[in-house]
Amino acid sequence: MSSMTTAIILAAGIGTRMKSRYPKAMQRLGNRPMIWHLIETARQVVDRIVVVIGPGMDDLARQVSPHTTVIQHERLGTGHAAKTGMDGLEEGRAVILYADNPLLTADTMQRLLDAQGEQENVLSLLGMRPAVPGHYGRIVTGPDGQVERIVEFKDASDAERRITLCNAGMMCAEVAQLKDWLSRITPENAQNEYYLTDIVALAAQQGRVSCVEGTEDELAGINSRAELAEAEARLQQRLRQKALQQGATLIDPSSVFFDPDTIISADVVIEPNVFIGPGVTLEEGCVIRAFSHLEGCVVKQGVVIGPYARLRPGTVCHEGSHVGNFVELKNTTLGAGSKANHLSYLGDSQIGAGSNIGAGSITCNYDGVFKHGTVIGEGCFIGSNTIMVAPIQIGDEAMTAAGSVITQDVPAEALAFGRTRQDNKAGKGKALQQALRKKKEQG
C-alpha cells in the first residue's frame, strides 16, 4: 500500500456573500490570496496537493501552480467536489481541506493525519467548539461519545442545533475508502447537493470515526467580508506574537501589520502604524519608525527607517544607514552609514558607504519607456534639491550643488553645478510687487 498522502483542497466556491468578481479562494488575507496560506501549510505535511477549482478560474489555477488543478464543472456540493478531486488518485490516503479555512496550522493538520493512521480509526475529522456555533454543521455523537454523523445546520432539528461540537470540514481517510463512501452519498437534503459530511455516517457504520478538536481561531471558515476581516485580525495576532517571541519590540502591536514571510531578528524595534508587506527581512537592532511602509526589502543591522518612509521591492539598506521622513527607495542599495533623511526619491540606484543625500533630491530613473540606473560613490554629498537624470555616475567623494540638475557623470572628488547663474536686478523686486498689488486692487 502506498504511503503517499494527498491534500485535496476544495476551492471552486465563487463566494457569493463576498460580493466580488474574484473566486473566494483569491480574496486577500495577510497580503496574499487566501488559498496561499493553506497551500503553504499543506506543503509542510503532505506529499502532493490537488486543488479543485471551478470553470473560468484561470487566475486561481495560475496562483496555485505548480500544484495540480482539476475543474468541478458542475457545482453539486462538497461531496461532488471531493469526488472530482480524487478521480485521479489510485492509492495512499487523502486529506480533504477547504480553501476558506486558511488559518489551519501544520500541527493540527498533522494531528488529523495521525488520528487517521491509528489502527482503530478509519476516518478522522476536525471539530471545534466556537463561541457562537451559528450555521456550522453539528457533529452528532452517540451515548458512548463516538461520532455517529454530521448534520448540516439547515437539516438539523432544534435539539441538534444545540450541540456545541461543530464540524470544521476537514477529514482524512484512505483513498479507496473515500472513493467508496463518496460513490454512495445522495443529494437528499435541503440543498439538493452531495454533502461531503454524509460520508461520516457511512464510516461510523464501520465503527471507526475519530474527531480531532482544534480552536476556533484556526478552524473558523470565511464566507463574508466581515469574516475575512476577523480572519485577518487572527492572522495578524498570530504574526505579532511570533515577532515578539523572536525578540522584537512592538511599541503598539495592534497597529503593526506583518506578512507571513517576514524575517525578523532580535532587538528590532517597530513603532506604531507600520505596514510590512511580502519579502521583508529586518536584521538585528534596526528601528522602523512610525507610519512606514516596507515590502521586498532588506534592512540590515542598526538601520533607522522613517518615520513616514517607504521601502519598495529590491531595496537593501546596509548597516547604520538612515532613511528619513517622506523618503522613498525603490530597487536601491543604500551603503553602510549613508543617509537620505528628508523628502527624497531614489529609484534604481546604487549608493556607496558614507554618502549623504540632501533634502528633496531625486533620481529620474524612468524616461517613459526604459528604467535607468544611478550610481553614487562613497563619501558623496548630494546637495538639496538635486535632480539626477539617469543613467549617470557620481564618483567617490564628489559633491553636487543644491538645486542642480545633473545630466552628466561627475568625476570623483569634483563639485558639480547644474544650474544657471543667479542674476540680481536692483530694485526690481519691490517694483514688481507694487505692480502686482495694483492689479489685484483693480480686480
Has 241 been labeled as part of a binding site? no
- The answer to whether 173 is annotated as binding is no
Confirm or deny that 31 is annotated as ligand binding.
no
Distances, alpha carbon 178 to alpha carbons 94, 182, 206, in Å:
8, 6, 13
What is d(CA 241, CA 263) in angstroms, rounded to the nearest whole number? Answer: 13
- Determine if residue 330 is labeled as part of a ligand binding site: yes
To the question of whether residue 144 is assigned a binding role by annotation, the answer is no
User: Is 100 flagged in the annotation as binding?
Assistant: yes
Is 419 among the annotated ligand-binding positions?
yes
189 belongs to an annotated ligand binding site: no
- Sequence-separated (6 or more) residues with CB below 8 Å from residue 333: 315, 316, 318, 349, 350, 351
How far apart are the C-alpha atoms of 156 and 178, rounded to whole Å?
Answer: 24
Report the run of H or E that residue 435 belongs to, with start and end.
Answer: helix 428-441
13 is in an annotated binding site: yes
Under DSSP, the state recorded for 117 is H
Return the residue matching grid coordinates 542674476.
423
Q: Is 77 annotated as a binding residue?
A: yes
- Is residue 72 annotated as involved in ligand binding? yes
Distance between CA atoms of 174 and 437, rounded to whole angstroms? 89
- Can you tell me the distance from the alpha carbon of 342 to that of 153, in angstroms, rounded to the nearest whole number? 59
CA quadruple 78, 221, 116, 150: dihedral sign: negative
The answer on whether 356 is annotated among ligand-binding residues is yes
| Residues identified as active-site | 342
Q: Which segments are annotated as binding site for acetyl-CoA? A: 359, 365-366, 384, 402, 419
Residues annotated in a binding site for Mg(2+): 100, 223
Binding residues, by number, are 10-13, 24, 72, 77-78, 100, 137, 152, 167, 223, 312, 330, 345, 356, 359, 365-366, 384, 402, 419
Question: Which residues are annotated binding-site positions for UDP-N-acetyl-alpha-D-glucosamine?
Answer: 10-13, 24, 72, 77-78, 137, 152, 167, 223, 312, 330, 345, 356
